[in-house]
Structure 1
């Protein structure tokens, strides 16, 4: 009896291969997708089953994933695709809900960024019943199960989403630890999950939330030395006096994470700080960009480049749709060969000029003219 599921699985796989032979040049999965996209096995999609506006600019989508979906660890992220104007775009979003749901669904929470075509499309235009291509959950930003922790969460804006996933799972499991949470937002009405966070504080006295409003006149602090509305050691000492003894999980805009990394490094406690970035950490430019002309050889397209903007964004603005994923140099979905010319890695300022070398167009810009084999 124990071998039966495995045997049935082998028979099903064999039947699918035989069916694929008759469906050539497509696969049986492509025809199944026409009936229900969630049944397809050649790619992975999710159906929007509900939407909820967290704030005026942030929306939570509850997604029902299809075949091949695997579970996730609270704090991880995944790639989400959308169609806009007949073109496919991919972005990476943190999962914002608990992993213990019994309906097989999960949530993402997206904040509309000014000028962000994908985030605004998701927040303003998507509706219940729409299907979205998704990837598997990835990332190592999560609390380990094997050891007890006393976390200090430091978040800002939509950086609260992976932390919310952790908090919801800890709540569902009934093992909320001693937590201090410092969250930065422009105004009180900008706090994503405000009601849920308040409810957690009422349910668990050991969960302590301190919101800092960065655009409130004078800030929330009025004591001498505590007037800063952004991260400072004085704030840290006031809201979490035992911060040196805690593991820190931080997510938010790049300036905040840069400040935290510099501070914990200076304290000799860098190993206690765990960060999740929505964008690649870029190096300070060594000088003005060198303008040039970029050509994408396979697409038979060329366009002007400023030597500062990443090649992926330039290609998209020119109407191209190159393969991409995380947009921050992690997933390598945008890898392409440099045919000629020179590019600069925006994270390190390293120059790449060897023909045939693989570059990541999401984190590289041009140095003069260049040809990309894409």
Structure 2
């Protein structure tokens, strides 16, 4: 192939249309159980999409054809190909088939792109990207888009994983961050890798970490993606910190929304100064009326009761008590285990009562 023929082969002809199958051209291992699949249109068509959108693939499983949706991890600023990064989830047939059988040369039907989880406009803004697991894929697309736009990025990028080896796109993002001061990366892991040293954040992502990572979080537009429980904890954290939730955007990688009408309404319980609650301290026989924004620890002290406490912001776990009735909003910083929460325990220092609540104090 001559030089002219080579360049003409990569010159986009027209936008890609759904009636043309996509051809897998590369498979890139990213982390244990994670791979990126790069696709091109055989005709040379280019791809038009917004950063953060998703694509639906038609997969020919032995048990029958299935359709699976994946966020596009590549940026529309690089339109000659489109990349989907997938992670093997427990019980997932489609993802497992892709990891085991999808190889370069395979052609698949695809539908889209679609989705409303994307940057609001082209103007530079201050962003806070928060993700967990494969929820990092739209964040990479958005970060690359901002990078390629020529604007100096102002991104605080927070990603959480089980172990350092599970941090998807770590090297790619660290290379980008090494070239500009405007991209600040913050990795959080729950466990160390057995054969390497980890010097970053450990544990559950919490308010203390957020304050260290992005002290100006109130000024940033927040985009969040990950498991439902993770996004719920992020919302609880931001609500408790007084963040303007009109500037909060989220996308579940299990059920991405194709249109604004499909975006589920978020109806979080947010304690209010204008609503009263009732705390019953069962062991002491004391009942007190308070505001929803008061903590169980504050109300106990005002009632002359002693709950042992230490840090008072949900880290040490000293103030753990058993809740026997009612609901609280608890935004802790890692001082209580999930098993204890399921068993009914709360941290008095960071739990706020909703309605009538009874605790064993």
TM-score bucket of the superposed structures, by smaller chain:
0.5 to 0.7
By how many angstroms is 1:251 displaced?
0.8
Partner of 2:219: 245
- Contact 1:59/1:109, CA 8 A, preserved across alignment: yes
Partner of 1:150: 126
By how many angstroms is 1:116 displaced?
1.2
Moved more, 69-78 or 241-250: 69-78
- Contact 1:70/1:136, CA 8 A, preserved across alignment: no
Q: Hey, what's the Cα distance between the residues in 2 that align with 1:175 and 1:277?
A: 28
- Contact 1:264/1:273, CA 8 A, preserved across alignment: no
Secondary structure, counterpart of 1:172 in structure 2: helix
By how many angstroms is 1:192 displaced?
0.8
Partner of 2:56: 79
Superposition CA RMSD, Å:
3.3
By how many angstroms is 1:86 displaced?
4.7
By how many angstroms is 1:49 displaced?
0.9
The answer to whether structure 1 residue 63 and structure 2 residue 39 are counterparts is yes
- Contact 2:75/2:145, CA 8 A, preserved across alignment: yes
TM-score normalised by length of structure 1 = 0.59
Partner of 2:355: none
1:157-199 deviations in whole A, cap 9, x for unaligned? 1100011111112222222421111110111111111110110
Structure 1 residue corresponding to 2:232, chosen from 251, 258, 268? 258
Secondary structure, counterpart of 2:31 in structure 1: coil
Partner of 1:94: 71
Partner of 1:177: 153
Partner of 2:252: 277
Equivalence map 1:122-133=2 (5 Å): 122-133=98-109
Q: Hey, what's the Cα distance between the residues in 1 that align with 2:228 and 2:56?
A: 20
- Contact 2:115/2:258, CA 8 A, preserved across alignment: no
Q: Hey, what's the Cα distance between the residues in 2 that align with 1:125 and 1:332?
A: 35
Partner of 2:91: 115
Equivalence map 1:154-169=2 (5 Å): 154-169=130-145
Q: Would the alpha carbon gap of residues 268 and 181 (structure 1) be closer, same or farther in structure 2, given more than 3 Å must change?
A: closer
Structure 2 residue corresponding to 1:210, chosen from 182, 186, 191? 186
The answer to whether structure 1 residue 192 and structure 2 residue 192 are counterparts is no
By how many angstroms is 1:253 displaced?
1.1
Q: Hey, what's the Cα distance between the residues in 1 that align with 2:156 and 2:53?
A: 21
Q: Hey, what's the Cα distance between the residues in 1 that align with 2:31 and 2:139?
A: 17
Q: Hey, what's the Cα distance between the residues in 1 that align with 2:124 and 2:100?
A: 40
- Contact 1:231/1:256, CA 8 A, preserved across alignment: no
- Contact 2:114/2:258, CA 8 A, preserved across alignment: no
Q: Hey, what's the Cα distance between the residues in 2 that align with 1:123 and 1:167?
A: 26
Partner of 1:355: none
Secondary structure, counterpart of 1:135 in structure 2: strand
Flag structure 1 segments of 5+ consecutive residues without an equivalent. Answer: 1-39, 281-325, 334-346, 349-374
- Contact 2:47/2:81, CA 8 A, preserved across alignment: no
Q: Hey, what's the Cα distance between the residues in 2 that align with 1:137 and 1:89?
A: 17
Q: Hey, what's the Cα distance between the residues in 1 that align with 2:145 and 2:17?
A: 29
By how many angstroms is 1:148 displaced?
2.5
By how many angstroms is 1:66 displaced?
6.1
By how many angstroms is 1:261 displaced?
2.1
Q: Hey, what's the Cα distance between the residues in 2 that align with 1:254 and 1:131?
A: 32
Equivalence map 1:194-343=2 (5 Å): 194-216=170-192, 229-266=203-240, 267-280=242-255
Flag structure 2 segments of 5+ consecutive residues without an equivalent. Answer: 1-15, 268-361
By how many angstroms is 1:271 displaced?
1.0
